[in-house]
Amino acid sequence: MQVPAPFEYERAVSVDEAIALLARHGPEARLVAGGHSLLPMMKLRLARPETLIDINGLADLDYIRTEGDEIAIGAMTRHAGVLDSAVLAEHYRIFAEAERVIADPIVRNRGTVGGSLCQADPSEDLSAVFAALRGTAVIRSASGSRNVDLRQFHTGPYETAVGAAEMLVEVRLPIRPNCGSAYEKVERRAGDWSIAAAGAFVQLDGEGRIADLGIGLTAVGAEHFTCEEAEDALRGEAPAEEAISRAAAICAERCQPQADQRGPVDYKRHLVGVLVARALARAAARARGEAA
Ligand SMILES: Cc1cc2nc3c(=O)[nH]c(=O)nc-3n(C[C@H](O)[C@H](O)[C@H](O)COP(=O)(O)OP(=O)(O)OC[C@H]3O[C@@H](n4cnc5c(N)ncnc54)[C@H](O)[C@@H]3O)c2cc1C
């Protein structure tokens, strides 16, 4: 049986206390949210924190609500809360489509939005969703809050913009009128990590052209989980099949998948092209108010 190395355990009852505990215990302390990424890594001895700071008591960070023209999502919101959210179902169907294929109900009942983003696993589904939607991560420290563009949040595999004695407390997304979104994932079996996945939003102007869009990619080595060159190629165009295919081909060409037990590079590139095109087409149809 795999067991973690010994560690101290602290339980925070407020964000301020969690941050103070991080400062007190230094760089070898780690927050634990759902524990679905950190604890397996500790059992494998890939992570050996000296102190775990449990933030599961921070129920005030478990919310999804509209605030003016934005949606605010607390860092301790569980995957299951994202899946069930009426606010997200109304504005961004991409979330429910992604959540339905993240692991299983046991993981989704415990794993959190903050943990998913901060784990920064290159195959994380929510990282692709947030990269597609572009928004803001709110990071707190003892000296206050700072905002980081979600596309700058991941600084590399398993690395984020969250510094020592800081924690992610919230994610904020703009509400976009005339907008549709969708998520497409291919996995080896139900509940597995992606072989490749793509998400998109499309916002249409009064003439039915693409006023704005976002593309998110995971598990395929896309820088910052996106492909801005493909987005630039499609912005201002009508969402016709040919234009969408061109943008999807750019994604397939620019991503840098690795060959592994989930498949060879060419197969993953092919999937990217197909999945981006499907996600964009369904997002555009939803923006037009069609069933898709
Ligand atoms: C069997 C299994 C299958 C899975 N399949 C998928 C899948 O298909 N797709 C997918 O996307 N994910 C999958 N996951 C991962 C799952 O989504 C995890 O819940 C998620 O990666 C981490 O969330 P957590 O709350 O459990 O984080 P934790 O494990 O508690 O923490 C992860 C990291 O984030 C840090 N952290 C947590 N919260 C904060 C915060 N607020 N501020 C700063 N740092 C923080 C921790 O210190 C730690 O370093 C799977 C997990 C399992 C166990």
How crowded is the C-beta side of 174, counted as CA atoms within 13 Å?
Answer: 16
Residue nearest to atom 33 of ligand 1 (CA): 119
pLDDT, tens digit, for every residue of 65-99? 999 999 999 999 999 999 999 999 999 999 999 99
**Number of neighbours of residue 264 by Cβ within 10 angstroms:** 12
Q: Provide CATH 3.30.390.50 ranges for the chain.
A: 179-287
Ligand 1 centroid vs 116 CA: distance in angstroms?
4
In the structure, which protein residues have their CB atom closer than 6 angstroms to any atom of ligand 1? Answer: 30-38, 75, 102-103, 107, 111-112, 114-116, 118-119, 124-126, 162, 167-168, 193
For residue range 49-68, what is the model confidence (pLDDT) as tens digits? 999 999 999 999 999 999 99
DSSP 260: B
Residues 208-247 have pLDDT tens digits of 999 999 999 999 999 999 999 999 999 999 999 999 999 9
> CATH number of the domain at 59-174, out of 3.40.1190.20, 3.30.465.10, 3.30.310.50, 3.60.15.10?
3.30.465.10
CATH architecture of 179-287: 2-Layer Sandwich (3.30)
How far is C-alpha 263 from the chain's CA centre? Answer: 23
Looking at residue 2, what is its pLDDT? 85
Report the alpha-carbon distance of residue 191 to residue 101 in Å, rounded: 6
Tokens of 75: 């860092």
The two tokens of residue 6 are 């010994």
Q: In 79-89, which positions are buried (b, 16+ CB within 10 angstroms) versus exposed (e)?
A: bebbbebebbe
pLDDT at 175 over 90: yes
The C-alpha angle with vertex 115 and arms to 25 and 111, in degrees rounded to 5, equals 125
Is 1.10.3720.10 the CATH number for 8-54?
no
pLDDT given at position 24: 97
Q: pLDDT tens digits, residue range 159-170? A: 999 999 999 999
Mean pLDDT of 173-198: 96
Q: What's the mean pLDDT when you consider all of the chain?
A: 97
Q: Where in the chain is the domain with CATH 3.30.465.10?
A: 59-174
| Angstrom distance (rounded) from CA 74 to CA 46 | 28
pLDDT at 241: 97
pTM for the predicted model, two decimal places? 0.97
pLDDT band at 1 (very low <50, low <70, confident <90, very high): low
Q: Would you place residue 292 in the very low, low, confident or very high pLDDT band (cuts 50, 70, 90)?
A: confident
Instruction: Yes or no: say if 225 and 215 are a contact pair by the CB < 8 Å rule.
Output: no
Backbone angles phi, psi at 234, to 5 degrees: -100, -25
Phi, psi dihedral angles at 189 (to 5 degrees): -150, 165
Structure tokens given for 50: 């000296």
pLDDT at 7 over 70: yes
How does pLDDT run across 246-278, given as a tens digit for each residue?
Answer: 999 999 999 999 999 999 999 999 999 999 999
Q: Which of 10, 31, 153 has most ligand 1 atoms within 8 Å of CB, for mutation?
A: 31
